[in-house]
A and B are shown apart, each in its own frame.
Chain A
């Protein structure tokens, strides 16, 4: 093996030294987590109003717009990669599956954590199963996210199993069972993802007069689903770029060898998806007769979103994959990810309540933004823990037969 990867053994299961060195990253992590804990305490003892700028006209703000809407779309890398590898038969991307499933699982798990901050009676979250409001889009979202989180947990569970197998050999049975159900889990996962990714868009169907016409559309569910595919592919590239910078020393030769080819292949796919997304957005704008809305501040925002964050990355991806230009592909990925965030912000906050006087409009409080950063930092920290301990970026020497 080209790299000296620290692989935990039976006697030394933990490898926490990385967390206790005084690097810039660790200090920043401690700062954000420390502040976040204080805000968490205030939120859960003084109420939502004590830390947020939410109001009766803007009941959903940063915590829904970023943590839920962006969190779920950006965790789409899980279904995107598993479908590419297992269903479409791109076996040569096998080394990308575990990192993608890991980040997707963490993404969804922390969407639920972040959601608890936003719920008035957070301990009643399971009530939706006892009093199912089947006419509610939110019920569908909740049911699918809960089920998909379970699927992701099962898919992800092989990594901790391999980590702990030396100490608890019983876990090997579970691992075998999961490996045998791979294709079923994958198909189940993509079905659930289609449903809830699109349903996040359906949430806003009920409020046609609150969302600016350029963003409101009966096709919102389709837009959310198609853009989630682009988000999924781009996040795999984007996360890969960050991982290469920070946890390169936990990647084995196979991972490194396959990584670049994966970037070019996904770039090509996402380029097509973004072109398709651009077309459906354009046609939707035309058939809804929204041209008159283009000559406004919101029209400018819409142009920026559609051209700067959909069409531009589509071209960059196409050029990057044709020229095999890794940097260009990565730039396009960052561009797409920013575009997804921009789009979800537009729908949930910027173009929402557009008709209200500016005094009643919403801008997130610093504490809301801090909690969102806190959740992202938690994800990164748990991801680091997993990468330091479990075979995610490398193949465990005892389980070389994994595929």
Chain B
């Protein structure tokens, strides 16, 4: 009863995860976009236009009411060191070198189409919204930080120094501003038009057009179109001069993205799918293991019973043999030496048997104890 109930709970959890898997698989089949969110928004970050002015960082800081940093935003010396997002800086611009020339790239949450963080969260804090943003609800966050393990872009940060309400923090895509019809803070403050806001599908067309019109300026790749299953934020990179020269014999496509700190080996499927095979095996194990081990138990039980029966049969036969032999001996004694001697022999043999049986019983008990 107890076990069945437990199994039912476990089983339903397994089935639920398997259903989740098949749904995702269906959604992902063929197209890379979240089919229900076709009109979702995205942002195209053109690093050929970015001058590293940090205005986007300031805009983000302002619209999200984050605490002012120690160094003002016009202090560009911070770029000499690689920086990452923190609980109070949801976006940072870093300087990279591409064939001796500085290139600037803004980091923030990529707002994946099928986010790894949402797949990994065991309390359902993350949600891909129809408008394209990946939102985080801190009210049910347990603080396990598995989202941070899962995120292939190392985006979420955590308020390690807060003892009472430490949250995971990341760019929100200015979700509230989007709902009010306003642009995200960073896009609004960019003076170079390096950040283009729009429908994701349109942005891909825009990016393609830019690459087509300036083949010597751009690397022929839209980072985020497919990477990790596709992201709402996408990046264009400048082409490295040496590759531009020998464009027809390009050796490693997209090495520019690597130089810009972007991982081009994430694959084109959502990261969460990597775990669905293992999760899908759960219901199978729940179903199969009890049968397997129940069977092993039955076999070992049966073997034990057979062994017992065989031992008993052997003991019985031996006993009968002994009794027959003794009978024959007593009859012989009675024939040759008379009934008196036979009685005495009988008595002696019975005594001997009794002693032996006692010894055996003791020995048997001993064996059982083992």
Contact = CB atoms under 8 A, between A and B. Distances in A.
B6 A119 contact: no
Contacts of A202: 275, 278-279
B49 interface: no
B278 A205 contact: yes
B160 interface: yes
B265 interface: yes
A258 B370 contact: yes
A380 interface: no
B152 interface: yes
Interface string B133-175: 0000000111111101110101011111111011100000000
B3 A184 contact: yes
B229 to A, nearest CB: 12
Given A121-B165, A140-B282, A202-B279, A188 B152 contact: no
A217 B6 CA distance: 31
A194 B275 contact: no
A137 B278 contact: yes
B266 A209 contact: yes
B289 A191 contact: yes
Contact of A56 (B7, B13, B85, B165): B85
A132 B144 contact: no
A47 B297 contact: no
A185 to B, nearest CB: 8
A322 B272 CA distance: 47
A119 B122 CA distance: 13
Contacts of B300: 87-89
Contacts of B266: 209
A45 B3 contact: no
A89 B293 CA distance: 12
A209 B261 CA distance: 13
A108 B294 CA distance: 25
A199 B301 contact: no
B352 interface: no
A8 interface: no
A121 B142 contact: yes
A250 to B, nearest CB: 19
Interface stretch (B113-121, B177-185, B191-199): B113-121
Contacts of A195: 282, 285-286
Contacts of A55: 160
- The DSSP consensus for interface residues of chain B is helix
Interface residues of A, number: 72
Contacts of A44: 163
Contacts of B10: 143-144, 147, 192
Contacts of B303: 89
B163 A87 contact: no
Nearest to A126: B142
Nearest to B267: A208
Contact of A88 (B142, B149, B296): B296
Contacts of B157: 56
A48 B163 CA distance: 7
Contacts of B276: 135
A268 B278 CA distance: 30
Interface in A104-123: 118-122
Contact of A194 (B158, B285, B294): B285
Interface string B1-12: 011001100100
B224 to A, nearest CB: 16
A257 B142 contact: no
Contacts of A207: 149-150, 152, 271
A132 B85 CA distance: 29
B278 to A, nearest CB: 4
B143 to A, nearest CB: 2
A60 interface: yes
Contacts of A86: 297
Contact of B297 (A124, A130, A131, A187): A187
B166 A135 contact: no
Contact of B279 (A45, A119, A140, A192): A140
Interface string A41-63: 00111111110101111011000
B142 A127 contact: yes
Contacts of B285: 191, 194-195
Interface string A144-186: 1001000000000000000000000000000000000101101
Contacts of B272: 135, 206
A83 interface: yes
Contact of A206 (B119, B167, B289, B370): B119
A127 B279 contact: no
Contacts of B123: 124, 127-128, 131, 133
B152 A209 contact: yes
Contacts of B116: 206
Nearest to A357: B82
A47 B162 contact: yes
15 contacts: A50-B161, A83-B293, A121-B141, A124-B140, A127-B140, A135-B272, A186-B293, A188-B3, A191-B285, A191-B286, A191-B290, A205-B278, A207-B152, A218-B274, A257-B370
Given A125-B142, A131-B123, A132-B122, 19 more contacts: A49-B161, A50-B161, A55-B160, A59-B158, A89-B303, A128-B123, A132-B13, A135-B275, A136-B119, A136-B121, A140-B13, A143-B13, A188-B6, A202-B278, A206-B272, A208-B271, A208-B274, A209-B152, A218-B274
